Structure 1
Amino acid sequence: MPKGLFLFFMLLLSLPAHAEDWPTEQWPTGPAITGPALQALEAYAFPPRDDTTRRGIRSDALLVIRDGQLIYERYAGPTNAQTPHLTWSISKSLMATVLGVAYGDGRFRLEDPVAKFYPPLEKHPDLTMADLLHWASGIDWQEDYEYAPLKSSVVAMLYTRGHSDMAAFTADHHSYAAAGQAFRYSSGDTNLLSAALKNIVGAERYPNYPWSALFEPLGIRSAVWETDATGTFVASSYAYLTARDLARIGLLMARDGRWGDKQLLPKDWVVFNREPFIGYRANQDEAVPGGHWWLNRATGGGARPWPDAPADTFAALGHWGQAMYVIPGANLVIVRYGDDRDGSYRHNELLRLALEAFAGSEQP
């Protein structure tokens, strides 16, 4: 065999079997998906929109990434591909991802007491970073919205007496349980993490840290993140991203924290995000908390919360139907923005229909 031909074949053997696609300024696009399964998905996600009563399923955006390629995208209402959409509590998973970069730089450990970084928590000395990431602070907190606003800790934090310094408002609450023992969903826990991050990375770096640590390396250009009056990011609720940019976070997590040839998040951090909190007691139809992400895992002998989706599915979820689903085994990232007000939207139904439309469809 001629030497040049031999070298050519050796080069072919050294290439990966399947070259990975990664977004640059734009997402690479894959083959368009059509057919009855897609029609069924669209009928569910985009029924006639009732803007008068705001009832029913009201999707603002649905975007699907498969194998790193954009294969489906549709918008409704005032939202389009350039709209930074309010993510509500997806912001919590974004903060966990930002913290993962700081963790990888050795700036904190999961077992560190939070008071080390946020002194107002000295009244809760046993509370660790891991406890907050599991929503297991033990701090007495009521996460009610429209249905019990007068008793709601989160409404008071976001809109009334706590809104100028949300972390201090949360830290001033009493405990109802020992830290790390019980799950109680709390936007206050996340804003304590945000306040701790300020001392973890330093006050000078903090205002730009989500961008320099995470958004810019991923090519995210649309991100807006509101702060309270102290300059602390409202990590519980007020990050805004386009659907295309949010999907970059999903792809990072789907690929175990790797972005191109760089391990942006340590693998053990992603494992922590995707492991169920050991102190969780299952409730029917409720996703299982991991490290500030939501998991489709069976716990306590029960069924998976989303039975028609694979067990490796995990998600970032927010108020009024915001969702980003990551399904590593199917190489899928699905972003869904919504304006749902009556609880009619079902995660499992969207996932079932999306898997039928995209996971099993043949590429030309």
Structure 2
Amino acid sequence: MKFSQNFGLLILLLLNFSCSNESDTETEKIETPAVITPIPLETYFPPISRTDEWETISMKTLGWNEDKVADLYTYLDDNNTDAFLVLKDGRIVIEKYFGDFKQDDNHTWNSAGKPLTSMLTGIAQQEGLLAITDPTTRYLGEGWSSMNSEKELAITIENQLTMTTGLDYTVDDDFCTDPECLKYLNAPSTKWYYHNAPYTLIDDVIASATNKDFNSYFSEKIKEPIGMQGLFIEVGYNNVYFSTARSMARFGILNLNKGIWKGTTILSDQTYFNAMTNTSQELNLSYGYLYWLNGKSSFRVPGSEEEFTGSLIPNAPADLFAGLGLNDQKLYMVPSLDLIVIRMGDASNEELLGPTGFDNDLWGFINEIIE
């Protein structure tokens, strides 16, 4: 009887030990679930008072291919880049500076700054200070060109915004804004040509209409309300904007939010905004009011009278619109992806105004990361 009881106790202990081991084994097999960081969907607006503060989001969180970033950096470095930024929903994903260039260094925008002037023109119009259908003469006075008064009066601010003034672009210096350089060639709105002089004169139009210095009006209406820094500086005949890459990013965010900055309306006229960022005339489908447009069936480029078939930047999203400047200054904005891409630096290859082959090559590298 005693042996039987001891044997039974032994069996019971063995069973408990076995069950305990199985339970421990099952516990060991349970894996801790991975922590998934949600992608924020709302737009981020960096603080106005703290220009050094800016939210970031990782490529891993976005599901982007980090393995391809090294190839992108090599391409940018090989092509004389100083600053490169990518933002998603206002948050910085990529921020890279090359050589001695630093985050706080200022860089010229060149013609990538033309959209600044375009938006400022829209603000002046919504305040009732001008109308883009007004003749340029109303603000510059008779004799701003070498044409007679009738031909001068035919040119409007809208012609200046769309590169359709008809002024002679075959003059020795098409940047020259002196009256002797501004000659009649075609009737307004009958020819598209990338002519810088009429664009530059928009600054004087705005200054006259607002009765304020151009830099002061820009600072009051756009720069300070969105926390930009920088300045328009006269370089020869041109009035060129200089700022940090992050200030360019702020303007990009303002554009993707259609002129509204965190509840503060900078440009309320949505009719103007839509006209500004869409085809403005039938002569160059890829041009708005000083903005370049992707995804159209044809395009023209600076320095040429030829029309090319196809999209401006085939590798880029069709809804991209941009500020594009000499020596490959780039401000790309993509509404469908809420994406901003900025490149500042020296010329990647040839010193060309506006669009270059660099655009399409660069987007090839970007696509390998974001797709």
Same fold (TM over 0.5): yes
2: distance between equivalents of 1:275 and 1:20?
A: 23
State the Cα distance separating 1:299 from its structure 2 match. 3.0
Q: Which residue of 2 aligns with 1:9?
A: none
The match for 1:198 among 198, 207, 212 is 207
2: distance between equivalents of 1:335 and 1:126?
A: 37
The code of the aligned residue for 2:282 comes to G
Structure 1 segment 65-84 matched on structure 2, within 5 A: 65-84=87-106
Contact preservation (8 Å) 1:87, 1:237: no
The match for 2:246 among 244, 258, 261 is 244
Q: Which residue of 2 aligns with 1:294?
A: 292
Q: Which residue of 2 aligns with 1:271?
A: 274
State the Cα distance separating 1:75 from its structure 2 match. 0.9
State the Cα distance separating 1:277 from its structure 2 match. 3.3
More RCO (CA 8 Å, sep 6+): 1
2: distance between equivalents of 1:214 and 1:106?
A: 17
Contact preservation (8 Å) 1:276, 1:297: no
2: distance between equivalents of 1:324 and 1:115?
A: 32
Call closer, same or farther: CA 1:83–1:170 in 2, change over 3 Å: farther
Q: Superposition RMSD on alpha carbons, in Å?
A: 2.4
1: distance between equivalents of 2:348 and 2:363?
A: 20
Contact preservation (8 Å) 1:140, 1:173: yes
Task: Name the SS for the 1:60 alignment partner.
Answer: strand
Task: Determine whether 1:176 maps to 2:185.
Answer: yes
Task: Name the SS for the 1:89 alignment partner.
Answer: helix
State the Cα distance separating 1:193 from its structure 2 match. 0.5
Q: Which residue of 2 aligns with 1:111?
A: 133
Structure 1 segment 321-360 matched on structure 2, within 5 A: 321-340=328-347, 342-343=349-350, 346-358=358-370, 360=371
Task: Determine whether 1:309 maps to 2:316.
Answer: yes
Task: Name the SS for the 1:210 alignment partner.
Answer: helix
1: distance between equivalents of 2:99 and 2:109?
A: 16
The code of the aligned residue for 2:46 comes to P
- The number of residue pairs the alignment matches comes to 303
- What's the % identity of the aligned pairs? 22
Length-normalised TM-score, structure 2: 0.75
Q: Which residue of 2 aligns with 1:127?
A: 155
1: distance between equivalents of 2:76 and 2:189?
A: 38
Q: Which residue of 2 aligns with 1:93?
A: 115
State the Cα distance separating 1:341 from its structure 2 match. 5.8
1: distance between equivalents of 2:333 and 2:179?
A: 31
Which segments of 5 or more consecutive residues in structure 1 lack a partner in the other structure?
1-16, 48-56, 144-150, 158-165, 283-287
2: distance between equivalents of 1:36 and 1:293?
A: 33
Call closer, same or farther: CA 1:299–1:277 in 2, change over 3 Å: farther
Q: Which one has the largest radius of gyration?
A: 2
Contact preservation (8 Å) 2:316, 2:360: yes
The code of the aligned residue for 1:313 comes to L
Structure 1 segment 126-145 matched on structure 2, within 5 A: 126-142=154-170
Q: Please list the CA deviations of residues 258-296 of structure 1 after superposition, one character each: whole Å capped at 9, or x if unmatched.
A: 1111221122222111122323257xxxxx221101011
Call closer, same or farther: CA 1:77–1:317 in 2, change over 3 Å: same
Length-normalised TM-score, structure 1: 0.77
Which segments of 5 or more consecutive residues in structure 2 lack a partner in the other structure?
1-39, 299-307, 351-355
